[in-house]
Amino acid sequence: MFKRILQTNSKLYLGQQYSLKALNSFKFLNGSLALKVNKNKFSTNTNTSLEKYNDTLSFRQFSFIPEIYTVLDRLKIVAPTSIQSVAIPRILDKKHTFFTAQTGTGKSFCYILPILHDLKLTEQIQKERLTLQKRPRVLIVVPTRELAVQVEEVIKMFIYEVPLKVEAFYVGRKYNSEVKCSEEGIDILITTPERFQNHWEKGNVYSTKLSHLVIDELDTLLDGGNEEFIKTIMESFLKPTKDNITKQVILCSATTTKHINTFIKGNFPDDQNFVQIIDRSTNVNLSNIKHEFIHVTDYDKYPTLLKILSEYRKYLTLNFSLILFCNSINCARKTELFLSENGIYY
């Protein structure tokens, strides 16, 4: 029995199984997806992941500029992941795109490779470098400086073959050095919301030449109270310019939440050029993980933590690992001090 794997309303759901030929059967009609059904091209095993078919896929199917393949070959990266296989063609088509997939599936490559291809191809067509002072062509907004550095490092792996100026701005880096970099010209700017807003308001960076706006980890940014900032920068970005620049918004997330759905409906209502790609597995709870919720107040938080650790200490002596998440650096340091004072060391 053939099982449908498609939902309309411009949403493409991953998680069912289909081969490369099936992937090529997806078409976009007026912003909605239509599927050419050929039962012989689809697997009927609903317990098999799309990863099974990755050996039939190749980055060569995307027709990037040769310089990108030179780097991928050097890094021995051959086959795209499931989300890359579906998201990259949509982004190359210049669709406004929201995609979601689990952490570790290569979401950054989904937008980095098409953007590098587009920027360099444009320069090759115009036969000149297009780097401008204070006016980046790509803005990538991330929630933390750690992610900003990570994305910058990934992009810089391609810079020798695809020469572009890439910088990451974030709290903790010398402010004056960022101003100098902007004055010298940047093609791709990776930044956190507060840092970009600071430079933007002071006229150190302008958005008038942007062709791509990427909001990475949209779920984290919205949960962190950055919705108004994202709306403001999107509104500014999407305003028509006298240069008639083709503009693209790319949103990505590790989860799909009600907050995200509301945000998208409010900012892309009935947009025929907007595509959502959702991996059904992103919000699936694993059956072998036990969840416990304990309500505590500030004054009894640490005694409760100590009691829990005492109960699980027998596991810690058997080479088990334990991760404690804190909501701030000060909280992490305070917790570390409390545990060490009670004879628990990391």
Total domains, the chain: 2
- Shared-domain flag, residues 159 and 33: yes
Give the pair of three-digit tokens for residue 139: 């803005």
Kindly state whether residues 145 and 204 are assigned to the same domain.
Answer: yes
Read off the pLDDT of each residue in 38-50 and give the average, rounded to a whole number. 29
Q: What is the pLDDT of residues 129-140, one digit of tens each?
A: 999 999 999 999
pTM exceeds 0.75, yes or no: no
With respect to residue 211, please indicate whether it lies within any of the assigned structural domains: yes
For the cut 60, the answer to whether the pLDDT of residue 35 exceeds it is: no
Rounded to an integer, what distance in angstroms lies between the CA atom of residue 15 and that of residue 103? 15
Q: Which residue, 260, 283, 306, sits at the end of a domain?
A: 283
In a domain, 325, yes or no: yes
What was the pLDDT predicted at 308? 84
104 and 46 within one domain: yes
What's the domain range around 332? Answer: 298-341
Residue 175 counted as domain residue: yes
Q: Which amino acid is at 25?
A: S
What pLDDT does 295 receive?
86
Q: How far is CA 117 from the centre of its chain?
A: 18
**Domain identity same for 231 and 267:** yes
Which of 146-155, 216-225, 280-289 has the weakest average pLDDT?
280-289
pLDDT at 53: 39
Asked whether residue 87 is assigned to any structural domain, the reply reads: yes
Please indicate, yes or no, whether residues 243 and 321 belong to a single structural domain of this protein.
no
Does residue 232 surpass a pLDDT of 80? yes
pLDDT of 318 above 70: no
Q: What is the CATH number of the domain that holds 184?
A: 3.40.50.300
Q: Is 240 helix (H, G, I), strand (E, B) or coil?
A: coil
pLDDT of residue 346: 60
204/133 same-domain check? yes
Pick the more confident residue, 268 or 231: 231
Per-residue tokens: 37: 């059904």
| Band (193; pLDDT cuts 50, 70, 90) | very high
Judge whether residue 175 has pLDDT over 90: yes
Q: Which of 283, 311, 327 is a domain's end point?
A: 283
Query: Could you give the count of Cα atoms lying within 13 Å of 114 in the half-sphere of its Cβ?
Result: 27
Instruction: Kindly report, residue by residue over 268-317, the tens digit of the pLDDT.
Output: 877 778 999 987 765 555 566 677 888 888 878 888 888 888 777 766 65
pLDDT of residue 284: 57
Where is the domain boundary, 242, 259, 283?
283
Distance, in Å, from the CA atom of 31 to the CA atom of 11, rounded to the nearest integer, reads 9
